[in-house]
Amino acid sequence: MTPALELHDVSVWFRDTNLRHRSLKQALVHLFDRRQPAVVAALDRVSLSIGEGQSVGIIGRNGAGKSTLLRVLGQIIIPNRGRLVAHRRVVPLLSLGVGFHPEMTGRENCYLVGTLLGFPPALTTARLPSIAEFAEMGEFLDTPVKNYSSGMYARLAFSLVTEVEPEVLLLDEILSVGDEFFQRKSQERLQQLMRRGVTTVIVSHNLDYLVSQCDRLIWLDQGKLVADGAVAEVARAYRDCLGHSDRAVAAPGS
């Protein structure tokens, strides 16, 4: 299978500077402490290849490194070690209104984000009516986005990135935002993209949804790649692990 994205021995780490002090004395001690803050590994030597046309789900507990992995794939975070090779144009939708300027209108932001994603203004102009129609913006398309609700952000952002024909689409929990009708509509559009061969990588805590939509699951834990393979097998192993952890926590009180 021809790869769309490749990760080679990728590691990402952050310095843990979010220390909470219980007293003024502790804060002053930390202020003059010359020791370096602890290093937290968000990804630890992860290697994988995502083929063209694959639908990949990423699972794991909170803090497992899922969103960091998507940001590396979207070329938003540069790895501290290893490298990403992107063979196709990647369009990330990792948070609501990413790239939107609050003082600009929805229309103006479509041009802004389109430019950031590498699309010519002529393409945005041609697709703008369809973008606005799918997002159900109406007259709000010419309203500053600072006045938008979270649902309006979600509709416009999702409509924009899926209308401009991405080759690789990265989604981070975005399908859980908005009302029930828009969720169904966005899921239908995502299925259409998948059928057309668009490579999709989705982070979600909804394992049942990933099992029904994806043909491959990647399981991360504490920044490490635990499993990568067929949906049913990885989902079963992940559920077994969660069940074992829950039983272990409940055991002392039983």
Report whether CATH 3.40.50.300 matches the domain 3-89+166-253: yes
Percent of the chain with pLDDT over 90: 61
pLDDT at residue 143, as a whole number: 96
CB-CB contact of 46 with 224 (8 Å): yes
pLDDT confidence tier of residue 98, bands split at 50, 70 and 90: low
The contacts of residue 63 (CB under 8 Å, 6+ apart) are 222
Question: Which residue is listed with tokens 């929990």?
Answer: 173
Mean pLDDT lowest among 47-61, 99-113, 173-187: 173-187
Per-residue pLDDT at 87: 95
CA dist 179 and 195 (Å) reads 25
CA atoms of 71 and 68, how far apart (whole Å): 5
Distances (CA, A) of 53 to 31, 212, 231, 245: 51, 16, 16, 35
Domain boundaries, given as residue ranges, for the chain: 3-89+166-253
pLDDT value at 140 more than 90: yes
Dihedrals φ, ψ of 61, to 5°? Answer: -70, 170
Tokens of 187: 């899921």
Q: What is the DSSP letter of 144?
A: B
Average pLDDT of span 77-95: 91
**236-245: buried (b, 16+ CB within 10 Å) or exposed (e) per residue?**
eebeeeeeee
- The whole-number pLDDT of residue 176 equals 65
Give me the mean pLDDT over the 124-128 stretch: 94
pLDDT tens track for 194-230 = 999 999 999 998 999 999 999 999 999 999 999 999 9
Closest CA to 70 of 105, 33, 95: 95
